[in-house]
Chain A
């Protein structure tokens, strides 16, 4: 099993350009998440999808959109990139069924994005 995979690993954009970060998991997990990690700020939740067909905003959603394409895939889109979106982006998934219990999140390897 590959676990959680992300593409691309690295990306450089110019201000105003758009791009989509892809994430897929092969663990049959219900819930998926997008985080950004900045120095001194820890991991901050951008959007999450508790189950297929639903998405919700996290702590820092402005400037981003997401699509839960199917149970396996959850993409993050930057419509008009800004330098403030320079960060490392992590996708994660968990087996967390809605309303039941707690399970750990498994993380992908990350995408390092630079916006010039």
Chain B
């Protein structure tokens, strides 16, 4: 059974800190790994990492895929209160990889 494990489950930091969120996966046929940010409502897409694109960056957020270790990290530098959210990691799974298997998420709280 495909599995995604995120750590830590929750994290509280001060504005300006740098944080690293972890995601490890076990999947039969790896295709990609996706990161989402969920504030009050729907998850919104951040990054997709694949074998041909193991590192992505957007502003203060960056993510790296380690296929050898079957894991990924999401880094956020100079955190702001607006970064407070649940960060979800997911991998395509199942026959045809139509489904996404999600981790339980990391709840990040950034305090002023």
Overall SS of chain B's interface: strand
Residue of B nearest to A98 (CB): B96
B75 close to chain A: CB less than 8 A: no
The CA of A44 and the CA of B93, in the complex, are separated in Å by 13
Cα A110 to Cα B68 in complex, Å, equals: 36
Interface positions of B (Cβ within 8 A of A)? 31-32, 34, 41-45, 48, 50, 88, 90, 92, 96-105
A: residues with CB less than 8 A from B are: 4, 31, 33, 40-45, 48, 50, 56, 58, 90, 96, 98-99, 102, 104-110
Q: Are A58 and B99 in contact (CB under 8 A)?
A: yes
CB-CB under 8 A from B100, the residues of chain A are: 33, 43, 45, 105
Task: With A104-B34, A108-B42 as known contacts, state yes or no: A96 contacts B98, CB within 8 Å.
Answer: yes
- Give the residues in chain B near A44, CB-CB below 8 Å: 102
Contact B99 A104 (CB under 8 A): no
Besides A45-B99, A102-B48, 18 other A-B contacts (C-beta < 8 A): A4-B42, A41-B104, A42-B88, A43-B43, A43-B102, A50-B96, A50-B98, A56-B98, A90-B43, A99-B96, A102-B31, A102-B97, A104-B34, A104-B45, A106-B45, A107-B43, A108-B42, A110-B41
